[in-house]
Structure 1
Amino acid sequence: MLDDLDRRLLRVLQGDPTLSGADLADRAGTSLSKCTRRLDRMRASGVIEGVEAVIDWAALGYAVEVSLRITLDKTQPRAFDDFIAAAREVPEVLEIQTFLGRVDLRLSVIARDMAQYQQLYRDRILTLPHIADIEALMHIARVKSDETLPI
């Protein structure tokens, strides 16, 4: 269970994961040694899974983002496993989510432009196994994108 200090450390860490241990401890109001022990404990227990770089793919020339809602042919016993394994091999697929309901999966796909997206869609997406239905939703704007948890 997390106590107040753990939650304070997590809030500060989420706000700026580039802080040094000393700065993190200072902002959370604790000593460096206690901060280090708490972070190590939270890493070992899986509360903190890692720290990652967030790269703005649009700054790298990717101007198109599409969400693909996919329904699989569930008469095939390995439909999910086969599809997910194949979709993971497509570098432009940034995210794969599975659902319960009419839609089985959602893929988040990026491309540099519409021409590249069309080529990717024809050559890589439509060839993924066991697709029964697919619906493309073109992203217009990202209104909120926040991974910060309310701790």
Structure 2
Amino acid sequence: MLDDTDRRILRHLLADPEAANADLVERAGVTSASLWRRLEKLRAEGTIKATSARIDWRKLGYEVQVSLRFNLDKADPRAFDDFTAAARAVPEVTEIQTFLGSVDLRLSVIARDMAHWQQIYREKILTLPHVSDSDALMLVATIKETQEMPL
């Protein structure tokens, strides 16, 4: 269970993931030893999964982002596993999510431009196995994107 100090450390870490430990010590109001012990504990118990880089795909030339929603033909008991294995193999797929409800899975796909998207769609997406229905949503703008949580 997290206490107020753990929550304060996490809040400051989420606000500035690149902050030096000395800055976190000052902002969270803890000693260096306490910060180190708490961060190690949070990592060991899986509260902090990883420190990672967030890439702006547009800066790398990927101007198109599409969200694809799929329903699978569940007559084959391997449908889900076959589909996810094939989707994982598509380099332009940046995210795979599963759902309960009217949609089985969602893929996020990036492409350099519309011609590249069309190529990915025809050669890689349309060949995914066990698809009974799909829908595509093209990203126009991101209004809010955050990893912050109300801690």
Q: TM-score, normalised by structure 1?
A: 0.97
Write the distance in 2 (CA, Å) between the matches of 1:28 and 1:102.
44
Q: CA deviation at 1:103?
A: 1.2
Within the alignment, does 1:23 sit opposite 2:23 as a pair?
Answer: yes
Equivalent residue number for residue 126 of structure 1: 126
* Structure 2: stretches of 5+ with no match in the other structure: none
Equivalent residue number for residue 66 of structure 1: 66
Q: Please give the root-mean-square deviation of Cα atoms over the aligned residues, in Å.
A: 0.8
Within the alignment, does 1:9 sit opposite 2:25 as a pair?
Answer: no
Within the alignment, does 1:150 sit opposite 2:112 as a pair?
Answer: no
> 5 Å matches for 1:1-151?
1-151=1-151
Q: TM-score, normalised by structure 2?
A: 0.97
Deviation beyond 4 Å, 4+ runs, structure 1: none
- How many residues align? The count is 151
Q: CA deviation at 1:17?
A: 1.2
Structure 2 counterpart of 1:40, one-letter code = E
Q: CA deviation at 1:37?
A: 0.2
Q: Identity across aligned pairs (percent)?
A: 61
